[in-house]
């Protein structure tokens, strides 16, 4: 089998595929261009793609041998799934290994925002600490213990975030397409509410839902106006959930108190307004980006491929 | 009763003492000088001090009416306790309201270090993002889920940190003067180990013990040498627990992988070496520094005073 990678991924995660021919971009961190991929695809039986690399339909026209696209990532909106379905190309993803790293990163960003960790660390490194003084009534943050976390999208990642927040003394409310079973709600003492109630009562609003056109700009001028002046917004899902211009305006006018963001509307571009504000914490879309998380995701891709080769279809993370 | 405050504290926390005369420094954020205090102390029945403000024994010589020092803080090494004991001056502290804020801050700092939150936020705000690129193998952090947290000092704060870490998927080992009861260990699935085993096996070493001369420079050249090259050090207890020069050397030579610090050997001075390193997260001694935490501490001081006035000695957080 010829297995073609769009993107450099550590070979260590693919030890079990040694019997096959792996074509991975040589330089670490590099991606094949579309031209390079077009040349290589006719020889490929399996394509390994990553969530941040779009594979346009045109490229697949000459991929006559292609039987599987094993996507690295939980989302697969980078792939032309309709074309794949029509042409009998199976598509798999890696939903399980992204759960804990993403929830951990969301919780890290929220804690950094509430305790002003990034802001104070940044200012302490400036000349004369940028005026920071030590003192009991100085540099005060916001306590999360006792506050209410509103989770929009209570899937696996939302629940892994809830588990951390409960241990941190937070109360959980959530909104979801479907209400969760009682026993799941009891795990987190979570209360199902309408989106309006969530936005207007939560101290922290966290977005943990997948992107679909129906939820484009879910957070916009109108929904930001429903939030409390003390509320914090946490987005580790997809940039297009939030109207970034409206968010900047809401932060400037103190309509809400702060935001912690891992994703942006026009990545890798981050709006200048966000880069200027101290009540914002920013990370460069690294929700699942720990070494351990990346290796687990590689192993999951590798398993998906082995299951495909061995016809273990029932064990496959197939999304089509 | 005349109640004298060494330091500005928000009046809101002392509503219940309205019947008494409160002498609080006028400007918010300000502290009385020792000279000002010397003038005011002869009229004071009760002194409210804060953990960061030393009250030398000399100052108390003319405090003939003084019956109680109600310290704001869990520690009280800022007070001449021997003198107070000899002269029948009672001393109280605020151990309970500091537990959750301090554990929350420790957890926030550790998550920021592991996920590079402060570093990446700082670099994204520099021209052209300081070279940061978005990409699946870029900017990777360290996952806490699955790792081992070693807690030195498993008191209330250590346990509140353990509760958060367990929810974050960490395994807990601890060292303490006394081993905890079985039922407490079971709460966190925590294993009691020697200090040597803790230092040599933990992925994260967290200091949560009070300061006494016996634990001065507990973390020094020798103990740092026992730690793993991938280990992270977390200090939210007291600066003097750590030989800062030895820590900087260990970070420079990659003997350990990183440090998250809220406290320093010579506060408010922070060693220049620490301010230069990206694998370090720094905060200006704000372990208990949230608005909510400060108000709770004020209310606890106020209750201690009321209990003293009403002779409810058994309800008092008396430390002498």
Q: Is B141 within 8 Å of A285 when comparing Cβ atoms?
A: no
Token readout for A200 is 């207007």
Question: Looking at the annotation, which residues of A are catalytic?
Answer: 238, 267, 285
What pLDDT is attached to residue A45?
97
Asked if the C-beta of A238 comes within 8 angstroms of chain B's C-beta atoms, the answer is: no
Quote the CATH superfamily of domain A2-97+290-315.
NAD(P)-binding Rossmann-like Domain (3.40.50.720)
Q: Which residues of B are catalytic?
A: 238, 267, 285
Which is nearest to B260 in space by CA: B169, B142, B153?
A: B142
The β-bridge relationship of strands B2-5 and A2-5 is unpaired
Q: In chain B, which residues have their Cβ closer than 8 Å to the Cβ of A142?
A: 290-292
- Rounded to whole angstroms, what are the CA distances from A167 to B71, B169, B188? 29, 11, 12
Query: Is B295 an 8 Å CB contact of chain A?
Result: no
Name the B residues in 205-224 with CB < 8 Å from any A CB. Answer: none
Query: What is the number of CB-based contacts under 8 A between chain A and chain B?
Result: 240
Name the CATH superfamily for B2-97+291-315.
Answer: NAD(P)-binding Rossmann-like Domain (3.40.50.720)
Contacts of A93 in chain B (CB under 8 A): none
- Estimate the share of chain B in helix, then strand, then coil, as percent rounded to the nearest 5: 40, 20, 40
Q: Tell me the average pLDDT across B88-97.
A: 95
Chain B partners of A28 at a C-beta cutoff of 8 Å? 137
Structure tokens at B164: 């958060």
Q: Does B112 touch chain A (CB under 8 A)?
A: yes
Which tokens belong to B6? 């060494």
Binary contact (A122, B121; C-beta < 8 A): yes
Q: Collapse the DSSP code of B266 into the 3-class scheme (helix H, G, I; strand E, B; otherwise coil) and give the result.
A: strand
Cα–Cα dist A69/B292, whole Å: 51
Structure token pair of residue A117:
């960790």
Same CATH topology for A2-97+290-315 and A99-282: the answer is yes
- How large is the average pLDDT for residues A203-222? 96
Q: To the nearest whole angstrom, how far is the Cα of B217 from the nearest Cα of chain A?
A: 22
The shortest CB-CB distance from B283 to any of A28, A29, A121 is to A121
State the Cα–Cα distance between residues B209 and B212, nearest whole angstrom: 9
Inform me whether the C-beta atom of residue B133 falls under 8 Å from chain A C-beta atoms: yes
Q: Are B71 and B50 in contact (CB under 8 A)?
A: yes
Q: What is the pLDDT of residue B77?
A: 83
CA distance B66 to chain A (A): 24
Q: How many residues does chain B have?
A: 320
The minimal CB distance from A124 to the residues B134, B146, B270 is found for B270
3-state helix, strand, coil in chain A (%, to 5): 40, 20, 40
Residue B111: strand, helix, or coil: helix
Mean predicted confidence (pLDDT) in B28-43 = 91
Distance CA B100, CA B78 (A): 22
How far apart CA A182 and CA A190 sit, in angstroms, is 9
Closest chain A residue to B188, measured at CA: A167
Give the CA radius of gyration of chain B: 22
Which is more confidently placed, A152 or A211?
A152
Cβ-Cβ contacts under 8 Å, B29 against chain A: 133, 135, 137-138
How close is the nearest chain B Cα to the Cα of A239, in Å? 14
Backbone φ and ψ for A68, nearest 5 degrees, come out as -145, 135
CB B25, CB B68: distance < 8 Å: no
B122 touches chain A (CB under 8 A): yes
Q: Which residues of B touch A285 (CB under 8 A)?
A: 134
Q: Which two tokens stand for residue A35?
A: 């031209």
Q: Which residue of A has its CA nearest to B121?
A: A282
| CA atoms of A243 and A250, how far apart (whole Å) | 11
Q: Which of B109, B132, B141 sits opposite A117 (nearest CB)?
A: B109
The string of pLDDT tens digits covering residues B156-204 is 999 999 999 999 999 999 999 999 999 999 999 999 999 999 999 999 9
Q: Does A293 touch chain B (CB under 8 A)?
A: yes
At residue B75 the predicted structure's pLDDT band, cuts being 50, 70 and 90, is confident
Question: Chain A contact for B287, CB < 8 A?
Answer: no
Residue with tokens 């409310």, as numbered in its chain:
A173
Q: pLDDT value at position A316?
A: 76
| Three-class secondary structure of residue A54 per DSSP | coil
Query: Does the beta-carbon distance from B291 to A267 stay under 8 Å?
Result: no
ipTM of the complex: 0.94
> What is the value of pTM for the model shown?
0.94
Q: How far is it, in rounded angstroms, from Cα A203 to Cα A113? A: 13
Q: Which of B284, B261, B272 is nearest to B112 (CA)?
A: B261
CA-based nearest residue to B77, from B104, B51, B59: B51
Give residue A29's pLDDT.
Answer: 67
What are the distances in angstroms from CA A248 to CA A23, A241, B118?
43, 14, 21
**Cα(B283)–Cα(B262) distance, integer angstroms:** 5
Quick: pLDDT tens for A92-136. Answer: 999 999 999 999 999 999 999 999 999 999 999 999 999 999 999
Q: Half-sphere exposure of residue A38, counting CA atoms within 13 Å on the CB side? A: 8
Listed in sequence order, the residues at least 6 apart from B152 whose beta carbon sits closer than 8 Å to its beta carbon are B158, B174, B175, B176, B195, B198, B205, B206, B207, B208, B209, B218
Angle between helices A156-167 and A99-114 (to 10 degrees): 50
The predicted model gives B267-295 an average pLDDT of 95
Nearest alpha carbon to residue A287 among A31, A77, A69, A110: A110
Domain segments of chain A: what residues? Answer: 2-97+290-315, 99-282
SS3 B166: helix
In tens, the pLDDT along A292-303 reads 999 999 999 999
Is pLDDT at B28 greater than 70 in this prediction? Answer: no
Nearest neighbour of B111 by CB, restricted to A111, A141, A143: A111
**Could you tell me the CA-to-CA distances from B99 to A311, B74, B104, B180, B293 in Å, in that order?**
54, 9, 9, 18, 9
pLDDT at B244: 98
Query: Cα separations (Å) of B310 from A307, B16, B298, B306?
Result: 74, 13, 18, 6
Q: Which CATH topology does B99-282 take?
A: Rossmann fold (3.40.50)
Do B51 and B76 meet the contact criterion of CB atoms below 8 Å apart? yes
Residues near B214 by beta carbon (within 8 Å), at least 6 away in sequence: none
């Amino acid at each position: 089998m010829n297995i073609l990678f769009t993107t450099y991924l550590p070979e260590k995660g693919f030890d079990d595929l040694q019997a096959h021919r792996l074509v991975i971009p040589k330089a670490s961190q590099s991606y094949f261009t579309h031209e390079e991929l077009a040349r290589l695809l006719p020889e490929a039986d399996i394509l390994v793609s990553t969530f941040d690399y779009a594979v346009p339909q045109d490229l697949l026209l000459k991929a006559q041998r292609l039987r599987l696209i094993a996507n690295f990532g939980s989302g697969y909106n980078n792939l032309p799934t309709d074309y794949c379905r029509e042409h009998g190309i199976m598509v798999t993803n890696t939903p399980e290994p992204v759960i804990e790293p993403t929830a951990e990163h969301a919780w890290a960003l929220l804690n950094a925002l509430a305790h002003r960790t990034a802001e104070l660390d940044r200012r302490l490194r400036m000349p004369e600490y940028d005026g920071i003084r030590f003192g009991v009534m100085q540099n005060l943050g916001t306590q999360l213990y006792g506050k209410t976390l509103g989770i929009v999208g209570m899937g696996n990642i939302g629940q892994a975030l809830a588990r951390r927040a409960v241990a941190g003394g937070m109360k959980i409310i959530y909104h979801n397409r479907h209400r969760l079973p009682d026993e799941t709600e009891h795990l987190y003492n979570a209360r199902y509410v309408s989106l309006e109630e969530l936005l207007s009562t939560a101290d922290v609003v966290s977005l943990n839902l997948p992107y679909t056109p129906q939820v484009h700009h879910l957070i916009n001028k109108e929904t930001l106006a429903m939030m409390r002046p003390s509320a914090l917004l946490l987005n580790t899902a997809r940039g297009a959930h939030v109207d970034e211009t409206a968010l900047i305006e809401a932060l400037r006018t103190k309509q809400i108190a702060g935001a912690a963001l891992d994703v942006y509307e026009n990545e890798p571009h981050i709006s200048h307004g966000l880069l200027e504000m101290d009540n914002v914490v920013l990370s460069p879309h690294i929700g699942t980006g720990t070494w351990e998380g990346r290796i687990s995701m590689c192993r999951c891709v590798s398993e998906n491929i082995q299951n495909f080769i061995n016809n273990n279809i029932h064990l496959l993370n197939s999304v089509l």
